[in-house]
Amino acid sequence: MIKELSFTPDEIGNEEDIVGLLSLRSHIDKNVLRIQRSYIDARRKPDVKICYRVTDEIRPDPSTTALIHKGKVFKSDIRPVIVGFGPAGMFAGLVLAEYGLNPIIIEKGKDVDSRTRDVDAYKKDGVIDPSSNIQFGEGGAGTFSDGKLNTSVSSEYKAYIDSVFIRHGAPDDISYDSHPHVGTDNLVNVVKGIREQIIGLGGEVRFEEELKSIDLQPYRRDSLKSVTTDKNCYVTDKLILAVGNSSRVFIKDNVNLLGITSKPFSIGVRIEHLRHDIDMAMYGFDTARYRNITAANYKHAVDTSNGNKLYTFCMCPGGEVVPSASFENAICTNGMSYRSRDGVNSNSALLIPYDPSRFSEDPLYGMLYQDMLEMNAYKIAGSNSYAPFMTFGDLLKGRYGSLPSSVLPTYKPGVKACDLRELLPSYMTDTLTEGIALMGRKIKGFDSESAVMTAVETRSSSPVRIPRDKESLESVYVKGLYPAGEGAGYAGGIMSSAIDGIKCANRLAQSMLL
């Protein structure tokens, strides 16, 4: 039996026993009631509804769809290696460990507790550790960007991923909320729990160890022989490469070996508004009034008259803008929220698609362009780790230098008012100017002159792709190597990266069946 229920914000917003209320309204026993989906219907403001779909049907075990080789017999003479411990590498490692294949996982960055201290130090003092920051380390970049699990990718593995997160401390609502998010504060403990589960199943996780080379068989130059790090050499013919989208040195060193190609990505800024104003525009009320209703989300895209699209990405309700560079003397922005999403501002990336193949045949052109923008952002803001920002009012009126008024930038270590037209090409600033105005027609106040834009956002997706076979998921150049996740160009976010990691792990395991 499935029931569709709806409530006013006042009916459920501060309800302490939501399951009890749903049970009472649906006439489904509280002990068997399961929430399938929850969402906010704000199409007819001010008549906003908080909606739930509930059932008494038992949820199938999600591990049966993800762990498709569980109980089978594998070759055991060699251990698979995984490079990278972001979502793709983490879930690939968990799946292989569940199969008893005892994977060895190598991560350039630090464990999440050490990494958190390094990120806090960067925010405070502006001194970056190139191996331990918001891009590198246990859990990947997603650990410090809210833990949003929504994705446009369709996959039967989603329920399994949710169940793993919940088992290790994520809130239950990620399995049914239409905008699921774990929260950075929760993710720190979740990734530690997954690591401990992998180790408990026989896997190994080795931090602060950097991949140096992929070694090929001497008489079969298309087949993997071993991988060499700065600390060890691992003889293996099975490697999942999940290095993330910021592994600059590795990508540069392996362009020819892996046949790396360029791919489109996006460039833009982070825009911030008052959380209260976005709440009022989207819902017609301030979510701070309610314990069970978090700050409002939005997702929009517009086409501008110069032929470019402007779209929002990685929206962080009640969040903050964070420093996401991966090397010294550079500025790169991202957004994050804690579980409560109760910060003063809400922010989102405002991005413009960029195709590097239009400008160069060099497969690394896009990555080099990203680096140039990030280094220029560092310079124009004073070369002190502050980020350049500009109010929308200044961009609109062709001036710069105005200090923020009602909306205060959240970026740390700090910001400096700059002319973003000195940083971004004119077609991009024109796209921002027109696109924000168009979005203001959809979200009241989005085009407020007090909105602040902090630059530059370049790492929303990888600028390169490592080619792989569509069926086997093996590299088309190196047998036994499986490019995975966002850095390989096959995902864009926590959920899609985790899905891709599971897919690659299952293909690798299939190749090891007896």
Q: What is the pLDDT of residue 3?
A: 97
Q: Which residues pair with 52 in a beta bridge?
A: 5, 38
Clarify whether residues 105 and 145 are in a common domain.
Answer: yes
How many other C-beta atoms are found inside a 10 Å radius of the C-beta of residue 193?
15
Alpha-carbon distances, residue 297 vs 11, 243, 265, 283 (angstroms):
21, 30, 23, 10
Tell me how far apart the alpha carbons of residues 477 and 91 are, in angstroms, rounded to a whole number: 24
Domain enclosing residue 29, as ranges: 2-55
| Regions of the chain short of the pLDDT cut 50 | none
Question: What's the pLDDT at 221?
Answer: 81
Beta strands in 134-220 (DSSP E): 204-207, 211-216
Indicate the SS3 state at residue 251. helix
List residues bridging with 226 in a β-sheet.
Answer: 215, 235
Q: Which residues pair with 445 in a beta bridge?
A: none
For residue 440, the tally of other CB atoms under 10 A from its CB is 16
Domains: count for the chain: 3
Same domain, 124 and 173: yes
Residues 73-100: pLDDT tens digits? 999 889 999 999 999 999 999 999 999 9
The verdict on 253 and 266 lying in the same domain is no
Long-range contacts, stretch 254-258, CB < 8 angstroms, 24+ apart: 254/214, 255/363, 255/364, 257/214, 257/477, 257/478, 258/214, 258/466, 258/467, 258/475, 258/477, 258/478, 258/481, 258/483
The whole-number pLDDT of residue 455 equals: 98
What count of other Cβ atoms lies within 10 Å of the Cβ of residue 39?
14
Based on the fold, state whether residues 216 and 97 are members of the same structural domain. yes
Is the same domain home to 68 and 217?
yes
Q: What pLDDT is recorded for position 350? A: 98
pTM for the whole structure: 0.96
E-strand ranges in 418-513 read 452-457, 464-465, 481-483
The rounded distance, in Å, linking the Cα atoms of 452 and 450 is 6
pLDDT digits (tens, 9 = 90+) for 204-246: 999 999 999 999 999 888 999 999 999 999 999 999 999 988 8
H or E, element range at 41: strand 34-41
DSSP symbol at 156: T
Direct distance between the N- and C-terminal alpha carbons of the chain, in angstroms, rounded to an integer: 43
Residue 341's pLDDT is 93
Bridge partner list, 206: 106
Q: Tell me: do 412 and 281 sit in the same domain.
A: yes
Q: In this structure, are 226 and 357 located in the same domain?
A: no
Please check whether residues 202 and 311 belong to one and the same domain. Answer: no
Q: Are residues 491 and 453 in the same domain?
A: no
